[in-house]
Amino acid sequence: MNILKRSLLYIVRKRKRTLLLLIILTVISTLVLSGLSILNTTKDSSAKLRESTGSGFSITPNLETATKKATKDANSFDYEQEQINNDMLNKILKVNGVKGYNSKYIAVPSIQALDGKNLETVVYTDIFDMPILKYGAMGYGCIDTNYDSYFTSNKFKLAKGRHITKDDKNKIIMSSELAKKHNFKIGDKLKWTILDEAVEAQNGKGSTDIGTADIEVEIVGIFDILTEQSDKSSLSQHELYENFIFSDMQTIYDFYANSPQVKEEMDKGFYEVDFFVKDPKELETVMKNVKNISSINWNNFTITANDEVYKTSSDSMSNVDKLITTMIVIVVIISLIIVTLILSMWTRSRLRETGILMSTGISKANILTQYTLETLFVALFAFGLCYFISSLIAGNFGNIIDSSIESSDIKVTINSFIPVFSFGILSILISIGVSSISIMRMNPKEILSKMS
């Protein structure tokens, strides 16, 4: 009878023993595989936790190297300094680790319906009964409103529709209060204008800074205000959060097309750009790489890290990460020890059988191979089962315990299966080998006499 046949026969005949070993191996390998999947998910969640601190850096013109020009009232200065243009932006965005950025311009438009009818903005007082105030809103031209400070600081939250992104043209998002007041829905259009009264008021002061504007914009999103302003009745209408309107950059360019001085300012580039990184751990590296862009004259710019939140909490965050990792490592180590122990127990309980086989003249190597083969057959089956069970557990556990983990978050990957598989086989081989040593040293007579 050859080895293969003997081991298969053993597996089949001793069905209950086989089943027991199968269950034990399945349970332990499931433990290890789930542990490794949890470890992967922990890495993801920790990365998300760090990312949630919204860390990044800002680039502004360096005022220390700027040319100072006294303003007309001589109390303050105007600074002449290079600003960030689109060319530089694109180069900075190529640096690895930058996930998003924003910069904004301010405009104070009045709003009108498409037919030219002035629309009153939200108001809580009656002091400001003048046309240039009554229809006034605050317009923020943004590159990407996802990263605007009002949204990143949870003052506002997008309720319907979508955010404004880089490639938008003449799109806006407005507050739900303002939308409600005029029955605006997503997809509706309105006009941003500069009223003649405002232009006249400017001209009256001898300034020609502001020219007329009359542009059509489309609502693509509506936001909710989460933080209320204090003392709303003392604020003029365009200062109320309710009357904040976010638009894309193109809208602002169009809006100031007839205002040469503002246009000139804007053509210089962005005054301040806020960049956000994926992982605040990498912030220093990212900033260093940005500073290494040689085509930008860094003498003219100041680059500041915004990572206070991450800095105060990073120790505790990494402690959470370390603790979970340690726990899984302990689980894996102990699982390996347990497998070894159980297999030793297993082999030892077959002392009598070994003695009989040896006395029938079967070589020690042959017997050892048979035992190994048996266990490996069972183990292969167990590992297969474990992959199946772990996927099942991973898929459902998240939902059962807490909805905060989406089932897709915990994935049993082939990557974590391969180490389970190979380490499993290895520990089986080693433990059978080790526990057989003492038996294999004896001769059949010793074994059989020891038995009774």
Partner 1 sequence: MSFIKRAILHTVRKLGKSTLLFLVLLIMSILILTCLSIRSATETAELNVRESLGGTYSIAAKRTKGQITYDVLDKISKIKGVKKIENGHSESYAEYKSQDGNKLETKTTDSDIEDIKGFEHVGKLQSNMYSEKDEFFKNKTFKLLEGRHITKGDKNVLLVHKDFAKRNNLSIGDQIILDLNEALIKDTGYSPTQIKVKIIGIYEHTTEQETAMNVSYTLYENTVFTDQASFVDLHEFGKTPYYSDIEVVVDDPAKLDSIVNEMKLIDNVNWDLCRITYHDTDYQNAKKPLDSLNSLVTISIIIIIIVAISLIVLILVMWIRNRVYETGVFMSMGFSKANILLQHLTEILLIAIIAFSLSFPISSLISGQVGSALLGQSGNGINKLTQLNVNVSIENFILMYVIGVLLIVVSVIISTLPILKMKPKEILSTLS
The two tokens of residue 336 are 């390996």
The Cα 280–Cα 296 span in angstroms is 24
Nearest partner of 372 among 6, 73, 1, 125, judged by Cα:
6
Which CB atom, from 106 or from 293, has the smaller least distance to partner 1? 106
Position 206, amino acid: G
Residues 311-350 that bind partner 1 (CB under 8 A): 312-313, 315-317, 319-324, 326-328, 330-331, 334, 337-338, 341-342, 344-345, 348-349
**By CB under 8 A, residue 362 contacts partner 1:** no
Question: Which one of residues 35, 221, 280, 355 is an interface residue with partner 1 (CB under 8 A)?
Answer: 35
Which CB atom, from 393 or from 425, has the smaller least distance to partner 1? 393
The one segment of 110-118, 214-222, 395-403, 440-448 that binds partner 1 by CB under 8 A: 395-403
Half-sphere exposure of 280 (CA within 13 A, CB side): 24
The one segment of 167-175, 259-267, 398-406, 442-450 that binds partner 1 by CB under 8 A: 398-406
Quick note: the x/- pattern for partner 1 over 193-232, rule CB under 8 A, is -----x--x---x---------------------xx-xx-
**By CB under 8 A, residue 30 contacts partner 1:** yes
Nearest partner of 271 among 115, 83, 127, 443, judged by Cα:
83
The DSSP output letter for 171 is E
The DSSP output letter for 279 is -
**By CB under 8 A, residue 401 contacts partner 1:** yes
**By CB under 8 A, residue 122 contacts partner 1:** no
Position 290, amino acid: V
**By CB under 8 A, residue 443 contacts partner 1:** no
CB of 268 to partner 1, least distance (A): 18
Q: Is 37 within 8 Å of 413 (Cβ atoms)?
A: yes
CB of 289 to partner 1, least distance (A): 26
**By CB under 8 A, residue 402 contacts partner 1:** yes
The Cα 134–Cα 240 span in angstroms is 12
Q: For tokens 């404004």, what's the residue? A: 164
Using only C-alpha atoms, what is the Rg of the chain? Answer: 36
Question: Which one of residues 7, 18, 53, 375 is an interface residue with partner 1 (CB under 8 A)?
Answer: 53
Size of the site for partner 1 (CB under 8 A): 78
CB of 398 to partner 1, least distance (A): 7
Overall residue count recorded for the chain in this entry: 452
The Cα 290–Cα 209 span in angstroms is 36
Strands 77-80 and 156-161: unpaired
The Cα 83–Cα 77 span in angstroms is 17
The one segment of 165-173, 236-244, 362-370, 421-429 that binds partner 1 by CB under 8 A: 236-244
The DSSP H or E segment spanning 98 is strand 98-102
Quick note: the x/- pattern for partner 1 over 146-185, rule CB under 8 A, is -------xx-------------------------------
The two tokens of residue 176 are 């739900």
**By CB under 8 A, residue 279 contacts partner 1:** no
**By CB under 8 A, residue 54 contacts partner 1:** yes
Which CB atom, from 258 or from 313, has the smaller least distance to partner 1? 313
The one segment of 126-134, 363-371, 377-385, 418-426 that binds partner 1 by CB under 8 A: 126-134
